[in-house]
Amino acid sequence: TQLLEQSPQFLSIQEGENLTVYCNSSSVFSSLQWYRQEPGEGPVLLVTVVTGGEVKKLKRLTFQFGDARKDSSLHITAAQPGDTGLYLCAGTLLSSNDYKLSFGAGTTVTVRA
Amino acid sequence: NAGVMQNPRHLVRRRGQEARLRCSPMKGHSHVYWYRQLPEEGLKFMVYLQKENIIDESGMPKERFSAEFPKEGPSILRIQQVVRGDSAAYFCASSPRTGTNTGELFFGEGSRLTVL
């Protein structure tokens, strides 16, 4: 079982639509990160959230960390084909060494032109 | 732009052979992490090293797998007597210091091992 559950697993939308990806856990995280990975490449960090309830915006991407620090969401407004990729959430458990990242299985997002 | 460099990018081995994967961290980074990614699964932590020290190898199989980060040269992940189940993408990441709250992990492009 995954420590971090991401949903949906796959998401295909038309250019211009909005989408939300969810990352949930029953555990508390000291920090949570979102990465984007393209085929044949390594994950690239998008954002780190550390405070419960925190909201961060990166252009058309909005990231939210749940109040209890057990969940997070990524919202993309007016998606573009360039947003296509595998979105991974990852976190460091509050009870763990802070270098150990646990990853979700990812959400594959496809934005059709 | 000297990011995390991994080689080879692709490696094909027959069962029973050895695989050696190399990773040069970003300039100025002294912490190296290895992760394994299987299809439709998230990245799984394998090992965390600093120069000449293995800090945490709890995610690495006890047999056939080893890792090192010598004083000079790249970090190496070594898999002996490979089996088909070892086929995966192996990612190396580096950071300037411990912790991910502010010290993000920077990933290489990965080494994709295929065992025939």
Residues B36-75: tens digit of each pLDDT = 998 777 899 999 999 889 999 999 999 999 999 999 999 9
Residue-level length of chain A: 113
Which residues, 6+ apart, have CB-to-CB distance to A86 below 8 Å?
A36, A37, A38, A106, A107, A108, A109
What would the pLDDT profile of A44-86 be if each residue is shown by its tens digit?
A: 999 999 999 999 999 999 999 999 999 999 999 999 999 999 9
| pLDDT, position B99 | 57
Q: Which residues of B touch A42 (CB under 8 A)?
A: 4, 6, 91, 93, 107-110
Using DSSP bridges, classify how beta strands B5-7 and B19-24 pair: parallel, antiparallel or unpaired. Answer: antiparallel
Backbone angles phi, psi at B85, to 5 degrees: -65, -10
Give just the sign of the alpha carbon dihedral B54, B60, B63, B67.
Answer: negative
**In the structure encoding, which two tokens stand for residue B50, read together?**
């600093």
* Residue B79 reports pLDDT greater than 90: yes
**What pLDDT shows up at residue B2?**
67
- Which residues on neighbouring strands pair with residue A64, listed in sequence order? A55, A73
**Residue in A closest to B32 by C-alpha:** A99
Q: What is the dihedral of CA A42, A48, A50, A54, to 10 degrees?
A: -140
Indicate whether A97 pLDDT > 80.
no
Cβ atoms of A101 and B59 within 8 Å: the answer is no
The residue among A99, A100, A107, A108 with the most chain B CBs within 10 A of its CB, best to mutate, is: A99
For chain A, the C-alpha Rg in angstroms (whole number) is 13
In a 13 Å sphere around the CA of A78, the CA atoms on its Cβ side amount to 2
Distance from chain centroid for Cα A53: 15
For chain B, the C-alpha Rg in angstroms (whole number) is: 13
Q: What is the pLDDT of residue B30?
A: 87
Helices (H) and strands (E) in chain B, counts: 0, 11
- B90 φ/ψ sector (left φ>0, alpha ψ -120 to 50, else beta): beta
Q: Report chain B residues whose CB lies below 8 A from the CB of A65.
A: none
The answer to whether the Cβ–Cβ distance between B42 and A99 falls below 8 Å is no
Q: Please tell me what DSSP assigns to residue B86.
A: G
So what's the pLDDT on residue A14?
Answer: 97
Q: Can you tell me the distance from the alpha carbon of A90 to that of A73, in angstroms, rounded to the nearest whole number?
A: 12
**pLDDT confidence of residue A101:** 85
- Residue A20, classified by CB atoms within 10 Å of its CB into exposed (0-12), middle (13-18) or buried (19+), is middle
Terminal C-alpha separation, chain B: 35
